Structure 1
Amino acid sequence: MDKMDNTEDKKIRKGSSEKRASIIAAARELFLTDGFDRSSVDAVAAKAGVSKRTVYDYFGEKQNLLVTVVEETSRAVLDMIDQAISDYLWEFEDLEQALIMFCEQFAASANGSSDYSALIRLTTVEAANLPVSFLEKLDSATEEGIIKRFTEFGQAGLLDVPNPEMAAKHFAALTFLLVFNQRTSQNEQIKQIISGGVQVFLRAYGHPNIHTRKNVDTEG
Structure 2
Amino acid sequence: MATGTELRQGSPAKRAAIVRAALEVFVREGYARASVDAIAATAGVSKRTIYDYYGDKEQLFLATVRETVEQQTAAFERLLDDTVGTAEDLEGALVAFGRAFATEVARSPQRSALLRLMIAEAAHFPQLLERGGATGGTQRALADRLADLAARGLLDVADPMEAAEFLGVLVTGRVHNHSWYGTVMLDDAEIERLATGGVEVFLKAYRPR
The residue aligned with 1:186 is: 187
Alignment of 1:68-217 (within 5 A): 68-130=63-125, 131-132=127-128, 134=130, 136=132, 138-183=134-179, 185-208=186-209
The residue aligned with 2:26 is: 31
| Deviation of 1:126 (Å) | 2.2
SS at match of 1:108: helix
Contact conserved, 1:32 with 1:118, CA < 8 A, in 2? Answer: yes
1:143-180: CA deviation from partner (whole Å, max 9, x where unpaired)? 12210011111211111111110111111111123222
Equivalent residue letter for 1:195:
T
The number of residues matched between the two structures is 196
CA distance in 1, matches of 2:194, 2:79: 18
CA distance in 2, matches of 1:19, 1:88: 32
Contact conserved, 1:89 with 1:102, CA < 8 A, in 2? Answer: yes
Structure having the higher Rg:
1
Unaligned runs of 5+ in 2: 1-7, 180-184
Equivalent residue letter for 1:88:
T
Contact conserved, 1:147 with 1:164, CA < 8 A, in 2? Answer: yes
Identity %: 39
CA distance in 1, matches of 2:66, 2:9: 21
Question: Normalising by the residue count of structure 2, what TM-score does the alignment of the two structures yield?
Answer: 0.80
Contact conserved, 1:179 with 1:193, CA < 8 A, in 2? Answer: yes
Q: For the structure 1 residues 101 and 56, does the alpha-carbon distance in structure 2 shift closer, same or farther, using more than 3 Å as the test?
A: same
The residue aligned with 1:5 is: none
Equivalent residue letter for 2:159:
N
Q: Moved runs in structure 1, 4+ residues, more than 6 A?
A: none
Contact conserved, 1:26 with 1:44, CA < 8 A, in 2? Answer: yes
Question: Normalising by the residue count of structure 1, what TM-score does the alignment of the two structures yield?
Answer: 0.77
1:184-206: CA deviation from partner (whole Å, max 9, x where unpaired)? 61322222222222121111111
Unaligned runs of 5+ in 1: 1-12, 209-220
CA distance in 2, matches of 1:97, 1:107: 15
CA distance in 2, matches of 1:127, 1:14: 27
Equivalent residue letter for 2:196:
S
SS at match of 1:175: helix
Contact conserved, 1:74 with 1:115, CA < 8 A, in 2? Answer: no
